[in-house]
Amino acid sequence: MKNYLSLLLLLVSFWGIAQPKNTDRRIAKPSIGQRVDELLAKMTLEEKVGQLNQYSGDNTVTGPLTINPNKTEEIKQGKIGSMINILGSEYTRQYQDLAMQSRLKIPLLFGLDVVHGYKTTFPIPLAEAASWDLPAIELAARVAARESAASGIHWTFAPMVDISRDPRWGRVMEGAGEDTYLGSKIAYARVKGFQGDKLGDLNSVMACAKHFLAYGAAIGGRDYNSVDISKRALWETYLPPFKAALDAGAATFMNSFNDINGIPATANKHIQRDILKGQWNFTGFIVSDWGSIGEMVNHGYNADKKEAAQAAINAGSDMDMESNSYRENLVQLVREGKVSESVVDDAVRRVLHKKFELGLFDDPYRYSDAKRQQKELNNPENTKAARDMAAKSIVLLKNEQHILPLSKNTKTIGFIGPMVKLKRANHGFWAVDLKDVDSTYIVSQWEGLQQKVGKNTKLLYAKGCGINDTSKAGFQEAIDVANQSDVIVLSVGEKHDMSGEAKSRSNIQLPGVQEDLIKELQKTGKPIVVLINAGRPLVFNWTADNMPAILYTWWLGSEAGNAIADVLFGDYNPSGKLPMTFPRTEGQIPIYYNYLSTGRPAKNENDKIYVSAYIDLQNSPKFPFGYGLSYTTFGYSALKLSKTSIAKKEKLEVSLSVTNTGKVAGEEVVQLYLKDRVASIVRPVKELKDFQKIKLEPGQSKTVVFTIDNEKLSFYDNDLAFISEPGTFDVMVGSSSEDIRLRGQFELSE
C-alpha cells in the first residue's frame, strides 16, 4: 500500500512539473471558427437552411418581388438569415427584434444596394471612374459605408466590377468601364473603401463583388442576355477585377443572371467552386442575384425550382436571394440525399462567420444607431467629399474659342434644357431612395449656378423641351431666353432611369427632340456650353461637331449643381478622362481601344480598301478611351527607359517629364500603354498598364516614373497559363489612348 502511495505522490508531482504553469486563470476566447462550429452543432436542418434564405422588404424593391406573407413569422422561426431593402436604424431594429425571438437568436444580415452613396450621393460609378482618382473613389465608398453602417446596414451589394464594352447595356453606369486594368484598380479601391481594414468596425460594411461572372459581356448589350466567351477571355478581361476585389478582402460575391457558354452563373461550378472558392481560396459567401436560382428554370437549365436549388447549392451558391428555391426545397433535397448536409453546413458556416466578424452575436443592434445615423447622414465632411468627387468626374470634351471657364462677371446667362431643375435625377438609377427623401439636400444644376454667380449676373431659365418626347412647344421660350443672354448653358441628356438595370437601349442617341433644340439655339449665334447628363456613352454627333464647348456630366449625385458650377466657372479645372470609348454610332459596337490588329488593319481614319473597316463610317470612335481635356495644356517630354532590354526577372523604369504649358493649374492623367508586337496569342494594339494623376501649377514640370515588371508583360495563353514571351514591346505614354505623346521600345529576353 505504502509503495502505491509513494508512486502516486511521485506521479502527481511529476504531472505538476510537466504541466505548463497556467498562471493566467482567464480562458482563451474561442475563435470565430470555434463559435461557428459550436452554433452549427445546435442547429436543426431547417434552421441551417434558414440562414441561406434572403428576402426583400416590401417598401423598396429592386427586382420582381416574391410575395411571402409569412416573412416576419419565418424570421421568428429562424427560417430567414438576411433581409435586403430594410433601411434605417429604427426599421432594422424592428426586424432584428423578430430574429431575437427565434430559438437560437441568430441575428439577421441587412443588405442594401449602397452603390454610390447612402444619403450623401456620389456620382454614378462610371462617372467616378472618369476621375481616375483612386483615393477619391475609395473615400466615396468610405462615406457610403459610414452613412449606411450607421443606418443599420451590414452589407452593400457593391462594387459592381463588370467590365463592359457595350454602351447599349444600361448597367455600364454601375461599373468602371471597358478597361480591365483601370477596372481592377477601382474594384480594389471600392472594396477597401466599403470594408476598411477590418470587418466589425462600425464605419465599415461588407462589400459584395458583383456580378460574377462576365455579366457585362451580354450579347447585344441586352441585359440578362447570354454570354458566349472563351475561358481565355474570361481570365484576360473579366476575372481580374474580381480578383482585385478579393485581394482587397471582399467579404461576399454575387453571381450573375447570365449563362456563360450555356451554364447559368448561379449553377456554374467551374467559376464558383473551381476558381473562386478553390484556386482563389475565397472564404466568404456567394449570394445569388435576385431570383436567379429560380430563373434557371427559365434558362431551360433546370426543370423546376427543386432541381435549380440542388444545382445552385452544389455549384457553390450559398445564399438564395428572393427566389424561394432554397426555402421550399433544400431541406427535402438533403433528406432525399440529393444534397449532402455537409454542403449546406459549408454554406451556413460561411454566412455565420461573417455575422460573427460583424460583431452581431455580441450586439445584434450595434449598427442600428439613431444617434450615429443623425451625425453621419449628409454631414458637411461627406458633402464636401461628394462635391469634390463630382467635379473630378466631369469630362471636358470640347472647349473651342475658350468659352470655358465662364466669367463670373457674365451679365446674363441663359440656363436652358430639361435637366436644369431636376433634383432626384442627379442621383442616377442606383440611388438609395430613403423613404423620407427630402430632395432639398440634392443641389440641382439650377441651384448650383444660382449659388455660384454674383449679384451682377442674371440667370434666365427655359426648359426648352422634354427629355424623351416630340413636343417643340417650348422651343420659342428657349430661343427668347437665348436672345436675352450673353452665353447659353444647355443641359441635355437621357433620363436617369434610361440607364441602369433592365435599361438597355438599342438607340443611344440624345433622346426626344433635344438635338433639334440645340440646332435652333445655335441659330441665335450665342456662345453655347452643352452639359450632357447620362449613365452611359451616348451618340450625339451633330452636337459634338457643331457645339464649341461640351462637358460630360453623367449623373453627379447630391452635389451635382455645385460641382457643375465649380467647373463652369473654373473653380475646378476639369480633369476627367473617359473610362469607355464613345462610338460614332451603335453600328460600331462593340468598340474599345484595346482591340486586336487583324490581318488587314486600316492604315488611317479613312482607309477602306480591303481593310477591316466600315465603308460608311470613319475608322475611329467619336471620343476614345482615356480622353478628356483641361482648361490648361500639358507638354510631355524626355521619355527615358532605364534599359533597352530586360530579362523576365528584371524591371524596367519608364520616366518622362510632364509640364503644365498653360495659364491655370490643372491635373493630368498620364497614361502608360504597352504593345507586345509579336506573341503566340495576338496581343491588343495597346493596353493600359499604368497611370498617374498629377497636379501641376502653370509652368510647373514633374517627372513621372512607371515601373514595368514581368506581370505587366504577361498574358493568358490557351492553356490559361499566365506567361510572357521574349520579343519587342512598344511603350506609349499619352493623354488618352489615341493622344500618344511619347513612344519608345524595349526587348524582353528569357
Active site residues: 289
- What minimum distance in Å lies between the beta carbon of 256 and ligand GLC? 8
CA distance 548 to 715: 42
Where does 403-530 have alpha helices with state H? 445-452, 475-483, 514-522
- What minimum distance in Å lies between the beta carbon of 257 and ligand GLC? 7
Chain residues binding ligand GLC by CB under 6 A are 62-63, 84, 113, 157, 210, 289-290, 501
In the complex with ligand GLC, the residue whose CB is nearer, 113 or 318, is 113
Contact 678, 714 (CB under 8 A): no
Measured at the alpha carbon of residue 545, what is the angle toward residues 544 and 549, in degrees to the nearest 5? 55
Question: 83: exposed, middle or buried (C-beta count within 10 Å: 0-12, 13-18, 19+)?
Answer: buried
Chain mean position to CA 673:
23
Residue type, position 128, single letter: E
- What minimum distance in Å lies between the beta carbon of 84 and ligand GLC? 6
In the complex with ligand GLC, the residue whose CB is nearer, 156 or 444, is 156
SS3 477: helix
**479: phi > 0 → left, psi -120 to 50 → alpha, else beta; which?**
alpha
In the complex with ligand GLC, the residue whose CB is nearer, 57 or 734, is 57
CA distance 577 to 132: 7
In the complex with ligand GLC, the residue whose CB is nearer, 62 or 710, is 62
SS3 422: coil
Q: Which residues are bridge partners to 63 per DSSP? A: none
In the complex with ligand GLC, the residue whose CB is nearer, 18 or 67, is 67
In the complex with ligand GLC, the residue whose CB is nearer, 255 or 514, is 255
Distances (CA, A) of 645 to 238, 506, 688, 740, 748: 31, 48, 20, 22, 6
- What minimum distance in Å lies between the beta carbon of 148 and ligand GLC? 14
In the complex with ligand GLC, the residue whose CB is nearer, 156 or 594, is 156
- What minimum distance in Å lies between the beta carbon of 217 and ligand GLC? 15
- What minimum distance in Å lies between the beta carbon of 50 and ligand GLC? 20
- What minimum distance in Å lies between the beta carbon of 378 and ligand GLC? 23
CA distance 63 to 83: 14
CA distance 500 to 166: 13
For residue 276, the 8-state DSSP code is: I
In the complex with ligand GLC, the residue whose CB is nearer, 241 or 626, is 241
For residue 430, the 8-state DSSP code is: S
CA distance 251 to 54: 17
In the block, which residue shows the cell 451682377? 456
- What minimum distance in Å lies between the beta carbon of 442 and ligand GLC? 22
In the complex with ligand GLC, the residue whose CB is nearer, 319 or 453, is 319
Pairing of strands 687-696, 666-676: antiparallel
Contact 156, 145 (CB under 8 A): yes
Residues 693, 694, 699, 703, CA torsion sign: negative
CA distance 441 to 424: 10
- What minimum distance in Å lies between the beta carbon of 267 and ligand GLC? 17
Residues 132, 135, 140, 144, CA torsion sign: positive
Contact 736, 625 (CB under 8 A): yes
Stretch (H or E) spanning 748 = strand 740-749
